[in-house]
Amino acid sequence: MTDMLDRLEAIIAERKEKPIEGSYTASLFQSGRPKIAQKVGEEATEVVVAALAQSRDEQIGELADLFYHTLVLMADINISLDDVRAKLEERHR
């Protein structure tokens, strides 16, 4: 069974290869890497703000946004969740 991050990674990859008109993910890819990276930075800042001054539910929402935008950036630079998992495994041997 795959988890939601794996499924989301696959959906994002599909939007990259076969853009669908009106898709937010496809629009990010069309905007280019600088815009995608900017969105990751914005979401990271929103996570910090939420951690310091917002409810748990808002914190979870901001973390979900950060995970999503990070997955889009990863797809744009051709890095997979498996690549990240392998690096984490390597660091914790």
CATH number at residue 14: 1.10.287.1080
pLDDT tens digits along 18-57: 999 999 999 999 999 999 999 999 999 999 999 999 999 9
pTM listed for this prediction? 0.95
Q: Is the pLDDT score of 59 beyond 70?
A: yes
Long-range contacts of 5-12 (CB under 8 A, 24+ apart): 5/67, 5/71, 5/81, 6/81, 8/67, 8/68, 8/71, 9/71, 9/74, 9/75, 9/80, 9/81, 12/71, 12/72, 12/75
**Mean pLDDT to the nearest integer, 9-15:** 97
Residue 1: which pLDDT band, with cuts at 50, 70 and 90?
low
Q: Is the pLDDT score of 2 beyond 90?
A: no
The answer to whether 33 and 76 are in contact (CB under 8 A) is yes
The answer to whether 81 and 12 are in contact (CB under 8 A) is no
The structure tokens listed for 56 are 């748990």
Query: Could you tell me the residue range of the domain that residue 18 belongs to?
Result: 4-91
Domain count, the chain: 1
**Alpha-carbon gap, residue 12 to 26, rounded angstroms:** 8
